[in-house]
Amino acid sequence: MIVEGSVRPPGDKSITHRGFFLAAMLSSRAEIRNPLSSLDVRATARILRQVGVEISPVRGGRSVTVRGSSDRWRAPAGSLHCGNSGTAARLMLGALAGQRFEARITGDGSLRRRPMRRVTIPLREMGVRVAEERGDGLPLRVRGGVLHGVTYRSPVASAQVKSAILLAGLGGGVPVTVVEPARSRDHTERMLQFLGFPVATAGAAVSLDGSMRTGRLGPFTLEVPGDLSSAAFLVGAALLSDGGELRIENVGINPTRAGFLDVVARMGGTIEQHDRRVVCGEPVADLVVRPSTLSATEVRSDEIPGLIDEVPVLAVLATRASGETVFRSVGELRVKESDRLGLIASNLRSIGVVAEVHGEDLSVVGTDQPLRGSVETARDHRLVMAFAVLGSQSGAAIELSETASADVSYPGFFRDLHQIGGGSWTVK
């Protein structure tokens, strides 16, 4: 395929979620511009409405107005159903920590299988009461109230865990410190700083004094940049194309999220950053991508927190790189929307690629042979988009089990992929 033209990916999912939560807790009126309008984000809007927050309809291409303040939240009439969104569930646990009512949080079958104790353990240390209905997962019943501060050493580098604790400290008015084994994405800290809160960082430790009085409690406007995790699939399509040039506009290039770009550059990918700027505390640029000859690399364990969501598309790129690419310590992929680690390897094998999982490591051997076969996505949005990119390559014949799950994070993905020149896969 030949790529051409320019495309603007949807708003950043992580930043949209956090913008909704902070606006709901802090502001009499906030305008969120360029929010993502995916199923996950709509789940966040839905559960916030259930506790009394006013949120305008979440529709593609429109700003969203949020009228909140956590002192006006109320007990929900029914369960808070988070759909497939782990971010919605985990951040809501933190946001509810300072509330004195009980709420039940649940989700779909996939989300109910995802671990929640990584969040509930530190919240319990702060004084939140948590009742589990079925072990380490949803549904959960939580009751917050008067909290005490905590210094928590997280066993995993997780922006969701860190953000839940920061929101709990904010809502409960108590100081919190989170120390991670490696620094995870820092959108929550940046947004708090943008709103005037004194967030202190030292290496992989983040501290917040917990006082709402130190930040901006009045109206504010937040501009959401394009999602790098979504843009990564467009980058992959352009790198594997036969010719042309693709411009991807308004992409967030936060250093704690940009590990994907570093690995692609190490593999020989040609990506230029144009018009670098800072928008509402987040670094942004336009990416210009050209077809490239790729070489294998080793993705180190310390790099994984900054690119965990991009491993599927990097694994796809590794299939067309010369040599064996190894991803170290990617066991966290087993507890995503699917067993993403096992499915990456099994699906690659089903289309003719040598791919193996060794403990928590994934290895992929590149090939120049045409790739053909069926792919089971397990309704995992990142898997369906990654293998669609591979199916767009000249000579490929890949059959996807479904395409609807892309709407979880990138509504309009297949339209955009067609627009830039891709689209040769089939669907069962």
3-state secondary structure of 389: helix
Structure tokens at 36: 């993502």
Sheet hosting strand 270-279, strand order edge to edge: 6-7, 246-252, 282-290, 270-279
Q: Which residue has the tokens 């992959």?
A: 236
Active site annotation includes 309: yes
CA–CA separation, 275 vs 385, rounded Å? Answer: 27
Identify residue 10 by its one-letter amino acid code.
P
The sign one gets for the Cα dihedral 114, 117, 123, 127 is: positive
Catalytic residue among 12, 286, 309, 416: 309
d(CA 82, CA 39): 10
**Residue 210 DSSP one-character state:** -
Tell me which residue has tokens 């036969």.
242
Name the packing angle between helices 117-126 and 159-172 (round to 10°). 20
Beta bridge partners of 426: 399
- β-bridge partners, 286: 274
Alpha-helical regions (H) of 12-68: 13-26, 39-50
Sorted by sequence, the CB contacts under 8 Å of residue 142 that are 6+ apart come out as 93, 96, 97, 102, 103, 105, 120, 123, 128, 129, 130, 131
Residues acting as catalytic residues: 309
